[in-house]
Copies of this chain bind each other. A is one copy, B any other.
Amino acid sequence: MGEQLRVGVVGAGMMGADHVVRIQKRISGARVGAIIEPDAGRAAAAVATASGAQAFTRVEDAIEAGAVDAVLIATPGPFHLPVLRPALDARLPILCEKPLTPDTATAWEVLEHEQQLDRPHIQVGFMRRFDAEYAALRELIATGDAGELLMLRCLHRNPSVSDSYTQTMLITDSVVHEFDVVPWLAGSPVRSVEVKHPRRNSLAPDRLREPILVLIELENGVLVDVEMSVSVQFGYQVAAEAVFERGIARIGQPSGLQQWRDARFSVGEHVSYTTRFAAAYDTQVQRWVDAVRDGRLVDGPDAWDGYLVALSCEAGVKALDGGVVAVEAPQRPDFYASGGLAS
Protein backbone atom coordinates (compact mmCIF):
# COMPACT_ATOMS: atom_id res chain seq x y z
CA MET A 1 0.00 0.00 0.00
CA GLY A 2 1.15 3.49 -0.64
CA GLU A 3 -0.17 6.82 0.59
CA GLN A 4 -2.76 7.16 3.29
CA LEU A 5 -6.37 7.31 2.20
CA ARG A 6 -7.88 10.76 2.74
CA VAL A 7 -11.41 10.19 3.99
CA GLY A 8 -14.06 12.89 3.80
CA VAL A 9 -16.31 12.48 6.80
CA VAL A 10 -19.78 13.87 6.09
CA GLY A 11 -21.58 14.93 9.23
CA ALA A 12 -19.87 15.83 12.48
CA GLY A 13 -22.62 14.89 14.90
CA MET A 14 -22.10 12.15 17.47
CA MET A 15 -21.63 9.39 14.89
CA GLY A 16 -19.44 11.49 12.59
CA ALA A 17 -17.26 12.76 15.42
CA ASP A 18 -16.81 9.18 16.55
CA HIS A 19 -15.65 8.16 13.07
CA VAL A 20 -13.21 11.08 12.96
CA VAL A 21 -11.53 9.93 16.14
CA ARG A 22 -11.55 6.36 14.90
CA ILE A 23 -9.84 7.21 11.61
CA GLN A 24 -7.29 9.48 13.22
CA LYS A 25 -6.42 7.36 16.21
CA ARG A 26 -7.03 3.72 15.45
CA ILE A 27 -7.18 3.04 11.69
CA SER A 28 -4.11 2.15 9.67
CA GLY A 29 -3.68 3.63 6.21
CA ALA A 30 -6.18 6.46 6.43
CA ARG A 31 -6.57 9.95 7.75
CA VAL A 32 -9.43 12.44 7.77
CA GLY A 33 -8.94 14.58 4.70
CA ALA A 34 -12.03 16.71 5.13
CA ILE A 35 -14.93 17.35 7.47
CA ILE A 36 -18.14 18.16 5.59
CA GLU A 37 -20.55 19.77 8.01
CA PRO A 38 -22.72 22.89 7.66
CA ASP A 39 -22.81 23.60 11.41
CA ALA A 40 -19.72 25.73 12.01
CA GLY A 41 -19.34 24.81 15.67
CA ARG A 42 -19.48 21.06 15.06
CA ALA A 43 -17.14 21.42 12.11
CA ALA A 44 -14.57 23.32 14.14
CA ALA A 45 -14.75 20.79 16.97
CA ALA A 46 -14.18 17.92 14.56
CA VAL A 47 -11.31 19.64 12.74
CA ALA A 48 -9.65 20.24 16.10
CA THR A 49 -9.38 16.49 16.61
CA ALA A 50 -8.18 15.85 13.04
CA SER A 51 -5.08 17.90 12.32
CA GLY A 52 -4.62 18.38 8.61
CA ALA A 53 -8.30 18.02 7.79
CA GLN A 54 -10.04 20.80 5.85
CA ALA A 55 -13.59 21.91 6.61
CA PHE A 56 -16.32 22.20 3.98
CA THR A 57 -20.03 22.84 4.25
CA ARG A 58 -20.92 20.83 1.11
CA VAL A 59 -19.47 17.56 -0.15
CA GLU A 60 -19.30 18.99 -3.66
CA ASP A 61 -16.79 21.56 -2.49
CA ALA A 62 -14.58 18.94 -0.84
CA ILE A 63 -14.62 16.94 -4.06
CA GLU A 64 -13.87 19.94 -6.21
CA ALA A 65 -10.99 20.88 -3.93
CA GLY A 66 -9.53 17.43 -4.44
CA ALA A 67 -9.41 17.00 -0.67
CA VAL A 68 -10.79 13.48 -0.40
CA ASP A 69 -10.14 10.01 -1.84
CA ALA A 70 -13.24 8.44 -0.31
CA VAL A 71 -16.35 9.48 1.60
CA LEU A 72 -17.80 8.25 4.87
CA ILE A 73 -21.41 9.42 5.28
CA ALA A 74 -22.39 9.79 8.92
CA THR A 75 -25.45 12.01 8.70
CA PRO A 76 -28.98 10.78 9.45
CA GLY A 77 -30.62 8.71 6.67
CA PRO A 78 -32.76 11.50 5.16
CA PHE A 79 -29.58 13.42 4.29
CA HIS A 80 -27.78 10.55 2.52
CA LEU A 81 -29.14 11.01 -1.00
CA PRO A 82 -27.76 14.55 -1.61
CA VAL A 83 -24.30 13.28 -0.64
CA LEU A 84 -24.45 9.96 -2.47
CA ARG A 85 -25.25 11.65 -5.80
CA PRO A 86 -22.17 13.89 -6.12
CA ALA A 87 -19.92 11.25 -4.53
CA LEU A 88 -21.03 8.71 -7.12
CA ASP A 89 -20.61 11.32 -9.86
CA ALA A 90 -17.05 11.75 -8.67
CA ARG A 91 -16.60 7.94 -8.62
CA LEU A 92 -15.53 8.05 -5.00
CA PRO A 93 -15.69 4.96 -2.78
CA ILE A 94 -18.38 5.46 -0.14
CA LEU A 95 -19.02 4.03 3.30
CA CYS A 96 -22.61 5.07 4.05
CA GLU A 97 -24.02 4.70 7.56
CA LYS A 98 -27.27 2.72 7.65
CA PRO A 99 -29.79 3.08 6.18
CA LEU A 100 -28.72 3.56 2.58
CA THR A 101 -31.66 5.97 2.16
CA PRO A 102 -34.93 6.17 4.12
CA ASP A 103 -37.13 4.51 1.48
CA THR A 104 -37.05 1.97 -1.34
CA ALA A 105 -37.73 4.53 -4.08
CA THR A 106 -34.66 6.61 -3.33
CA ALA A 107 -32.62 3.49 -2.61
CA TRP A 108 -33.53 2.26 -6.09
CA GLU A 109 -32.43 5.57 -7.56
CA VAL A 110 -29.06 5.13 -5.87
CA LEU A 111 -28.72 1.62 -7.28
CA GLU A 112 -29.41 2.88 -10.80
CA HIS A 113 -26.90 5.67 -10.38
CA GLU A 114 -24.23 3.35 -9.04
CA GLN A 115 -24.72 0.85 -11.86
CA GLN A 116 -23.48 3.48 -14.29
CA LEU A 117 -20.03 3.04 -12.76
CA ASP A 118 -17.70 0.15 -13.57
CA ARG A 119 -18.40 -1.66 -10.28
CA PRO A 120 -19.98 -1.17 -6.81
CA HIS A 121 -18.61 1.83 -4.94
CA ILE A 122 -20.97 1.90 -1.96
CA GLN A 123 -20.70 -0.03 1.28
CA VAL A 124 -23.50 0.32 3.83
CA GLY A 125 -22.54 0.64 7.48
CA PHE A 126 -24.19 -2.40 9.02
CA MET A 127 -21.46 -2.91 11.56
CA ARG A 128 -22.84 -6.09 13.14
CA ARG A 129 -21.32 -8.11 10.30
CA PHE A 130 -17.93 -7.12 11.73
CA ASP A 131 -18.70 -8.20 15.30
CA ALA A 132 -16.57 -11.21 16.23
CA GLU A 133 -19.45 -13.17 17.76
CA TYR A 134 -21.79 -12.63 14.83
CA ALA A 135 -18.97 -13.77 12.55
CA ALA A 136 -18.41 -16.88 14.64
CA LEU A 137 -22.12 -17.68 14.54
CA ARG A 138 -22.20 -17.27 10.76
CA GLU A 139 -19.22 -19.58 10.46
CA LEU A 140 -20.97 -22.20 12.60
CA ILE A 141 -24.09 -21.96 10.45
CA ALA A 142 -22.08 -22.19 7.24
CA THR A 143 -20.22 -25.31 8.32
CA GLY A 144 -23.45 -27.19 9.05
CA ASP A 145 -21.56 -28.68 11.97
CA ALA A 146 -24.63 -28.51 14.23
CA GLY A 147 -27.05 -29.45 11.48
CA GLU A 148 -29.28 -27.08 9.53
CA LEU A 149 -30.35 -23.79 11.07
CA LEU A 150 -34.03 -23.84 12.06
CA MET A 151 -34.67 -20.66 14.03
CA LEU A 152 -32.96 -17.44 15.01
CA ARG A 153 -34.10 -15.83 18.25
CA CYS A 154 -32.88 -12.23 18.32
CA LEU A 155 -32.86 -9.91 21.33
CA HIS A 156 -32.44 -6.19 20.73
CA ARG A 157 -32.85 -4.25 23.94
CA ASN A 158 -32.18 -0.56 24.54
CA PRO A 159 -32.43 1.23 27.87
CA SER A 160 -34.18 4.31 26.46
CA VAL A 161 -34.48 6.46 23.36
CA SER A 162 -34.23 10.12 22.44
CA ASP A 163 -37.20 12.44 22.10
CA SER A 164 -37.09 12.21 18.33
CA TYR A 165 -37.58 8.44 18.25
CA THR A 166 -40.93 7.46 16.71
CA GLN A 167 -42.97 4.26 16.48
CA THR A 168 -41.87 3.50 12.90
CA MET A 169 -38.26 3.89 13.97
CA LEU A 170 -38.69 0.67 15.96
CA ILE A 171 -38.46 -0.84 12.49
CA THR A 172 -36.44 1.63 10.42
CA ASP A 173 -33.86 2.56 13.02
CA SER A 174 -33.67 -0.54 15.21
CA VAL A 175 -34.92 -3.76 13.60
CA VAL A 176 -33.17 -2.49 10.46
CA HIS A 177 -30.02 -4.10 11.87
CA GLU A 178 -31.65 -7.52 12.08
CA PHE A 179 -33.02 -7.09 8.55
CA ASP A 180 -29.42 -6.91 7.38
CA VAL A 181 -27.65 -9.31 9.64
CA VAL A 182 -30.21 -12.13 9.73
CA PRO A 183 -30.18 -12.93 5.97
CA TRP A 184 -26.39 -12.62 6.08
CA LEU A 185 -26.25 -15.15 8.91
CA ALA A 186 -28.82 -17.56 7.54
CA GLY A 187 -27.89 -17.28 3.87
CA SER A 188 -31.45 -16.57 2.82
CA PRO A 189 -33.53 -13.44 2.16
CA VAL A 190 -36.64 -12.25 3.99
CA ARG A 191 -39.98 -13.66 2.79
CA SER A 192 -42.42 -11.99 5.20
CA VAL A 193 -42.71 -9.84 8.30
CA GLU A 194 -45.26 -9.81 11.11
CA VAL A 195 -45.42 -7.80 14.33
CA LYS A 196 -46.86 -8.91 17.70
CA HIS A 197 -47.60 -6.52 20.53
CA PRO A 198 -46.77 -7.70 24.07
CA ARG A 199 -47.96 -5.78 27.09
CA ARG A 200 -46.76 -2.18 26.72
CA ASN A 201 -43.87 -0.91 28.82
CA SER A 202 -45.33 1.93 30.88
CA LEU A 203 -41.87 3.47 31.08
CA ALA A 204 -41.84 4.00 27.29
CA PRO A 205 -42.61 7.50 26.00
CA ASP A 206 -46.36 7.95 25.55
CA ARG A 207 -46.02 7.94 21.77
CA LEU A 208 -44.49 4.45 21.67
CA ARG A 209 -46.24 1.10 21.86
CA GLU A 210 -43.41 -1.22 22.66
CA PRO A 211 -41.76 -3.67 23.11
CA ILE A 212 -42.71 -5.43 19.92
CA LEU A 213 -42.00 -8.96 18.79
CA VAL A 214 -41.17 -9.10 15.09
CA LEU A 215 -41.58 -12.45 13.34
CA ILE A 216 -39.56 -12.83 10.17
CA GLU A 217 -39.82 -15.76 7.81
CA LEU A 218 -36.88 -16.40 5.51
CA GLU A 219 -37.06 -17.94 2.05
CA ASN A 220 -35.39 -21.12 3.35
CA GLY A 221 -38.07 -21.59 6.01
CA VAL A 222 -35.99 -20.40 8.94
CA LEU A 223 -38.22 -18.58 11.44
CA VAL A 224 -36.74 -15.51 13.07
CA ASP A 225 -38.09 -13.52 15.94
CA VAL A 226 -36.78 -10.20 17.14
CA GLU A 227 -37.65 -8.95 20.59
CA MET A 228 -37.35 -5.21 20.15
CA SER A 229 -37.37 -3.06 23.27
CA VAL A 230 -36.28 0.55 23.54
CA SER A 231 -37.27 1.40 27.11
CA VAL A 232 -36.11 -1.61 29.10
CA GLN A 233 -33.92 0.54 31.34
CA PHE A 234 -31.34 -1.99 32.55
CA GLY A 235 -28.86 -1.59 29.70
CA TYR A 236 -28.09 -2.29 26.07
CA GLN A 237 -28.17 -5.88 24.96
CA VAL A 238 -27.94 -7.36 21.49
CA ALA A 239 -27.97 -11.11 21.62
CA ALA A 240 -29.19 -14.06 19.61
CA GLU A 241 -29.86 -17.74 19.96
CA ALA A 242 -29.59 -19.99 16.92
CA VAL A 243 -31.55 -23.24 16.98
CA PHE A 244 -29.95 -25.97 14.92
CA GLU A 245 -31.02 -29.53 14.29
CA ARG A 246 -28.51 -30.89 16.80
CA GLY A 247 -27.86 -28.03 19.16
CA ILE A 248 -28.02 -24.40 20.12
CA ALA A 249 -25.62 -21.47 19.83
CA ARG A 250 -25.86 -18.17 21.66
CA ILE A 251 -24.06 -14.86 21.28
CA GLY A 252 -24.14 -11.53 23.07
CA GLN A 253 -23.79 -12.68 26.67
CA PRO A 254 -22.08 -10.55 29.33
CA SER A 255 -18.32 -10.87 29.77
CA GLY A 256 -15.40 -9.10 31.39
CA LEU A 257 -14.52 -8.45 35.01
CA GLN A 258 -16.64 -10.49 37.42
CA GLN A 259 -17.48 -9.36 40.91
CA TRP A 260 -18.89 -10.82 44.10
CA ARG A 261 -20.43 -8.09 46.23
CA ASP A 262 -23.46 -7.72 48.46
CA ALA A 263 -24.69 -11.31 48.13
CA ARG A 264 -24.54 -11.24 44.35
CA PHE A 265 -22.19 -12.36 41.60
CA SER A 266 -22.24 -9.86 38.76
CA VAL A 267 -20.75 -8.76 35.47
CA GLY A 268 -21.20 -5.37 33.87
CA GLU A 269 -23.67 -5.08 31.00
CA HIS A 270 -23.39 -2.57 28.18
CA VAL A 271 -25.50 0.55 28.30
CA SER A 272 -24.99 1.69 24.73
CA TYR A 273 -24.12 0.39 21.27
CA THR A 274 -20.97 2.47 21.41
CA THR A 275 -19.25 0.01 23.71
CA ARG A 276 -21.10 -3.13 22.57
CA PHE A 277 -19.98 -2.60 18.99
CA ALA A 278 -16.82 -0.54 19.49
CA ALA A 279 -14.57 -3.23 18.03
CA ALA A 280 -17.03 -3.94 15.22
CA TYR A 281 -17.00 -0.29 14.11
CA ASP A 282 -13.21 -0.27 14.12
CA THR A 283 -13.03 -3.49 12.12
CA GLN A 284 -15.63 -2.26 9.67
CA VAL A 285 -13.77 0.94 8.89
CA GLN A 286 -10.35 -0.71 8.83
CA ARG A 287 -11.54 -3.34 6.38
CA TRP A 288 -13.26 -0.72 4.23
CA VAL A 289 -10.09 1.40 4.15
CA ASP A 290 -8.07 -1.69 3.20
CA ALA A 291 -10.56 -2.56 0.46
CA VAL A 292 -10.48 0.95 -0.96
CA ARG A 293 -6.69 1.08 -0.91
CA ASP A 294 -6.30 -2.23 -2.71
CA GLY A 295 -8.98 -1.48 -5.25
CA ARG A 296 -11.79 -3.78 -4.08
CA LEU A 297 -13.75 -0.72 -2.89
CA VAL A 298 -16.32 -2.71 -0.93
CA ASP A 299 -15.81 -5.31 1.82
CA GLY A 300 -19.20 -5.74 3.44
CA PRO A 301 -22.87 -5.06 2.71
CA ASP A 302 -23.25 -3.28 -0.64
CA ALA A 303 -25.95 -0.95 -1.91
CA TRP A 304 -28.07 -3.89 -3.08
CA ASP A 305 -28.05 -5.22 0.46
CA GLY A 306 -29.07 -1.77 1.59
CA TYR A 307 -31.96 -1.87 -0.85
CA LEU A 308 -33.11 -5.29 0.40
CA VAL A 309 -33.10 -3.97 3.92
CA ALA A 310 -35.21 -1.01 2.80
CA LEU A 311 -37.75 -3.45 1.32
CA SER A 312 -37.90 -5.34 4.62
CA CYS A 313 -38.30 -2.11 6.56
CA GLU A 314 -41.17 -1.08 4.32
CA ALA A 315 -42.87 -4.38 5.06
CA GLY A 316 -42.06 -4.08 8.75
CA VAL A 317 -43.62 -0.64 9.04
CA LYS A 318 -46.75 -1.94 7.31
CA ALA A 319 -46.76 -4.93 9.70
CA LEU A 320 -46.90 -2.58 12.71
CA ASP A 321 -50.59 -2.23 11.83
CA GLY A 322 -51.20 -6.01 11.77
CA GLY A 323 -51.03 -8.97 9.44
CA VAL A 324 -48.29 -10.91 7.69
CA VAL A 325 -46.62 -8.67 5.10
CA ALA A 326 -44.76 -10.34 2.23
CA VAL A 327 -41.43 -9.05 0.96
CA GLU A 328 -40.77 -9.51 -2.73
CA ALA A 329 -37.28 -8.73 -3.85
CA PRO A 330 -36.18 -8.52 -7.45
CA GLN A 331 -33.29 -10.70 -8.62
CA ARG A 332 -29.85 -9.47 -7.51
CA PRO A 333 -28.24 -7.96 -10.65
CA ASP A 334 -24.94 -9.37 -11.90
CA PHE A 335 -23.43 -5.99 -11.14
CA TYR A 336 -23.77 -6.81 -7.43
CA ALA A 337 -22.86 -10.47 -7.83
CA SER A 338 -19.84 -10.41 -5.57
CA GLY A 339 -21.60 -8.78 -2.65
CA GLY A 340 -24.49 -9.54 -0.42
CA LEU A 341 -25.01 -12.84 1.31
CA ALA A 342 -21.69 -14.21 0.15
CA SER A 343 -19.62 -11.40 1.62
Binding site for B on A (CB under 8 A): 1-2, 4, 23-30, 51-52, 132-133, 136-137, 140, 146-151, 153, 157, 196-203, 211, 213, 215, 220-223, 225, 227, 229, 231-235, 237, 243-251, 253-271, 279, 286, 290
CB distance B199 to A221 under 8 Å? yes
By the criterion CB–CB under 8 Å, are B203 and A223 in contact?
A: no
Instruction: Contact check, B264 vs A260: say whether CB atoms are below 8 A apart.
Output: no
Top 4 closest pairs, chain A to chain B, by CB: A255-B255, A198-B223, A199-B221, A266-B266
Chain B residue with the shortest CB-CB distance to A186: B199
Shortest Cβ gap from A75 to chain B (Å): 24
B220-A232 in contact (CB<8A): no
Q: Are A247 and B233 touching (Cβ within 8 A)?
A: yes
In Å, the complex CA distance between A153 and B225 comes to 11
Q: Is the beta-carbon distance between B263 and A258 smaller than 8 angstroms?
A: no
Contact, CB under 8 Å: B246 / A137 = no
B258 touches A203 (CB 8 A): no
CB distance A148 to B202 under 8 Å? yes
In Å, the complex CA distance between A222 and B133 comes to 31
15 new A-B contacts, CB < 8 A, other than A23-B28, A140-B257, A234-B263, are A4-B4, A25-B28, A146-B259, A147-B201, A150-B198, A196-B215, A198-B223, A199-B223, A232-B243, A232-B246, A232-B248, A255-B256, A264-B269, A265-B267, A265-B269
Contact status B263-A268, CB under 8 Å: yes
A176 to chain B minimum Cβ distance, whole angstroms, is: 21
Q: Which residues of B contact A211 (CB under 8 A)?
A: 150-151, 243
Chain B positions within 8 Å of A257 at CB level? 133, 136-137, 140, 249-251
Which of A153, A246, A248 is packed against the most chain B CB atoms within 10 Å?
A248
From B197, B200, B245, B261, A202 is in contact (CB under 8 Å) with B245
B245–A201 contact, CB under 8 A? yes
Residues of B within 8 A of A229 (CB): 243
B264/A243 in contact, CB under 8 A: no
A328 CB to nearest B CB, Å: 20
Q: Which B residues lie within 8 Å of A153 (CB)?
A: 153, 227
**What's the nearest-Cβ distance from chain B to residue A284, in Å?**
13
Q: Find the B residue at minimum CB distance from A241.
A: B155
CA distance A123 to B221 in the complex (A): 42
